[in-house]
Amino acid sequence: MRGLAYALAFLALWCGRAAVAEPASCRAVRFADIGWTDITSTTAIASRILQGLGYAPTTQILSVPVTYVSLKNKNIDVFLGNWMPTMLADRAPYIADGSVQVVRANLEGAKYTLAVPQATYDAGLHAFSDIARFRDQLRGKIYGIEPGNDGNRVVHGLIGANKFGLGSFDIVESSEQGMLAQLDRSIRQHQMIVFLGWEPHFMNVKYKIRYLDDPTNSFGEGNGAATVFTNVRAGYLEQCPNVGMLLKNLVFSLRIEDGVMDDILGHGMEAPRAAEKWLRANTATWSGWLDGVTDADGRPAVQAMKASLGLSGSSVMTTGSFAFLAGGWITDHKLPLGAWLAHGVSFATSHGQGFFDFVSFVLSGVIAGLTAALLLLPAPVMIVLFAGGAYALHRSVGLAVFVLGGLLLVVNLGYWQSAIETLSLVFSATIFCVVIGVPLGIAAAHRPVLYQILRPILDLMQTIPTFVYLIPTLVLFGLGAVPGLISTVIFSIPAPIRLTHLGITSVPLQLREAGEAFGATPTQLLFKVELPYALPTIMAGITQCIMLSLSMVVIAALVGADGLGKPVVRALNSVNVSMGFEAGTAIVVLAIILDRVCKRPERR
């Protein structure tokens, strides 16, 4: 009988374990992060807890609309950043069709609305209704974050309806970090600025800012008061009840998020390490989140998490804790390459701001002037002139007809002004690349040592991700077309340098000797022999430069540059297929026209 009792007890225990057992697919937990530092912080904390419990969390950087599409398509499991009420329009269709579930509010007392620095507030800009009075000082701009964002849409609505007299304003769309860089720059230069602000965020600690009064509650009741919710894909809580229990318990505070964000933004710490640091120092807080939760193998969660963090005497180590301890010394003693660059940029902004402001003023003036000149005549007249120019260069009726039809299509799609803004950026970048690149290529061809010095630099310029040098140019020159132009030049200038060098060094020795035999000076030899022979190769380099510049239009839009890149980014972030296709078609038309027109005419 005693044996039977033991057997029944074991069976009951086994059945209890089986009742809460999760399928193997629950080990992989897929988070969405919309790129805001507060959501990055909470996602990193939740991911580190799950990692300590034996799960394998991953995080995808997505826009808000793409996040909800991914939840519906079951490509994402959890989203911790549902800011309400501003994301109501994004969330509502998926709640209605049952593809997304709301777990709980994970943060109360948040705020999301327009804000200004303290100095701007002291100057009299206290409310939305005051913004129009300071239009000149604000340069007619309101700074938002990524295109397609819910807050940007609210501002677009205010501008479109001319609410509070904002009809003549533009919203500068870039990213959270781009907006913060512009805020920092404006404060340093004592300039007025209106921007999208929210709490919790490190900006509330680093800067003295004030949130504007909005009597109409454009950003929601309570003058932008917000609550952040946890969302999951439909059926996830039932499929993965253990992870679901953690999500039901998970609740943050302004203090928690501000502390983690301080480490990320204030001390340059990676989000996973900042989350690990907070978890080590706040055992009592996260222990409450693990009530009713086990690790992936059914053992008590608190003990497993403490062992993972190295906070218990247990010798049991999870993969996460082993990786942390094994790599901890190396990562704690890493070379401060990023810190050196950051100090360099900080030194430049502190001691050379006047120079950078002058460069920014000149370059923005060049781009604005060229754009204004191209928009001076009506679109049909400019299209006829472009088509006539194409025919004059190539004597091709087919090319002229294609230019005419292609540009008329761009007008029909409603992207004529954006196309002109893109052409201005491309032409400006090409001019700078030719003026700098061709002489450098000639000099490098005549001085092999110079080319040996230039070659690794050119390799770096062509291979380093463009986002890397967008960051310092953004800090030095602020949001707008200027950092986009400089980044485009950096990316495109290797082509004319390399191909000019190739063309000059390819000149046959016999031609040079013939020129020297007739008494040509080095200058005459360059202009009468070398450049004419190398001209096709140099023109190929210039054509490549134009195409590379055009390929940067979408990247430039991320730092506030106008043009066809902006609707493409907005369409990507809002999952707007029609807008993306139409703007992409306009870019393709421009690319084909520029490629065909800029090619050297064939000899007949």
Q: What domains appear along the chain, each with residue ranges and CATH number?
A: 27-108+226-332 (3.40.190.10), 351-376+414-598 (1.10.3720.10)
Average pLDDT over residues 331-359: 76
Question: What is the rounded distance in angstroms from the CA atom of residue 294 to the CA atom of residue 116?
Answer: 46
Question: What is the rounded distance in angstroms from the CA atom of residue 370 to the CA atom of residue 364?
Answer: 10
Q: In this structure, what token pair is assigned to residue 176?
A: 């959270």
Kind and range of the H or E run holding 101 = strand 100-117
Strands 78-84 and 170-172: unpaired
Is 522 exposed, middle or buried (CB count within 10 Å of its CB: 0-12, 13-18, 19+)?
A: exposed
Question: What is the rounded distance in angstroms from the CA atom of residue 35 to the CA atom of residue 558?
Answer: 13
pTM of the model: 0.75
Question: What is the rounded distance in angstroms from the CA atom of residue 293 to the CA atom of residue 306?
Answer: 14
Q: Which of 7-11, 516-520, 540-544 has the lowest mean pLDDT?
A: 7-11
Average pLDDT over residues 539-556: 87
Alpha-carbon 200 to chain mean position: 21
Predicted confidence at residue 11, as pLDDT, reads: 42
Predicted confidence at residue 451, as pLDDT, reads: 92
Average pLDDT over residues 99-118: 94
Q: Check pLDDT > 60 for residue 14.
A: no
Average pLDDT of the chain to the nearest whole number: 87
Residue-wise pLDDT for 209-234, tens only, equals: 999 999 888 998 888 899 999 999 99
Average pLDDT over residues 102-106: 96
Do 348 and 473 form a contact (C-beta atoms < 8 A)?
no
Q: Check pLDDT > 70 for residue 254.
A: yes
Show the 3-state SS of 307-335.
Answer: HHHCCCCCCCCCHHHHHHHHHHHHHHCCC
Backbone φ, ψ for residue 370 (5° rounding): -65, -40
Average pLDDT over residues 289-300: 92
Q: Check pLDDT > 60 for residue 251.
A: yes
- Dihedral sign for Cα atoms in the order 470, 473, 478, 484: negative
Predicted confidence at residue 333, as pLDDT, reads: 65
Average pLDDT over residues 71-83: 95
Q: Which of 9-13, 53-57, 387-391 has the lowest mean pLDDT?
A: 9-13
Q: In this structure, what token pair is assigned to residue 193?
A: 């600025």
Question: What is the rounded distance in angstroms from the CA atom of residue 515 to the CA atom of residue 349?
Answer: 50
Q: Considering only CA atoms, which of 307, 230, 328, 276 is closest in space to residue 41?
A: 276
Predicted confidence at residue 140, as pLDDT, reads: 93
Is 254 exposed, middle or buried (CB count within 10 Å of its CB: 0-12, 13-18, 19+)?
A: middle
Predicted confidence at residue 1, as pLDDT, reads: 44
Q: Which of 47-51, 353-357, 562-566 has the lowest mean pLDDT?
A: 353-357
Predicted confidence at residue 355, as pLDDT, reads: 85
Q: Cβ atoms within 10 A of the Cβ of 92, count?
A: 12
Do 43 and 260 form a contact (C-beta atoms < 8 A)?
no
Average pLDDT over residues 479-496: 89
Strands 28-33 and 56-61: parallel
Do 64 and 90 form a contact (C-beta atoms < 8 A)?
yes
Average pLDDT over residues 573-578: 79
Question: What is the rounded distance in angstroms from the CA atom of residue 393 to the CA atom of residue 383?
Answer: 15
Kind and range of the H or E run holding 170 = strand 170-172
What distances in angstroms separate CA 463 from CA 456, 469, 482, one per listed residue?
10, 12, 22
6 vs 291, higher pLDDT = 291
Return the residue matching tokens 């038309």. Answer: 589
Strands 28-33 and 78-84: parallel
- Dihedral sign for Cα atoms in the order 300, 306, 312, 314: positive
DSSP per residue, 29-81: EEEEE-S-HHHHHHHHHHHHHHHHTT-EEEEEE--HHHHHHHHHTTS--EEEE
Q: Which of 29-38, 142-151, 281-290, 400-409 has the lowest mean pLDDT?
A: 142-151
pLDDT band, very low/low/confident/very high, at 332 (cuts 50, 70, 90): low
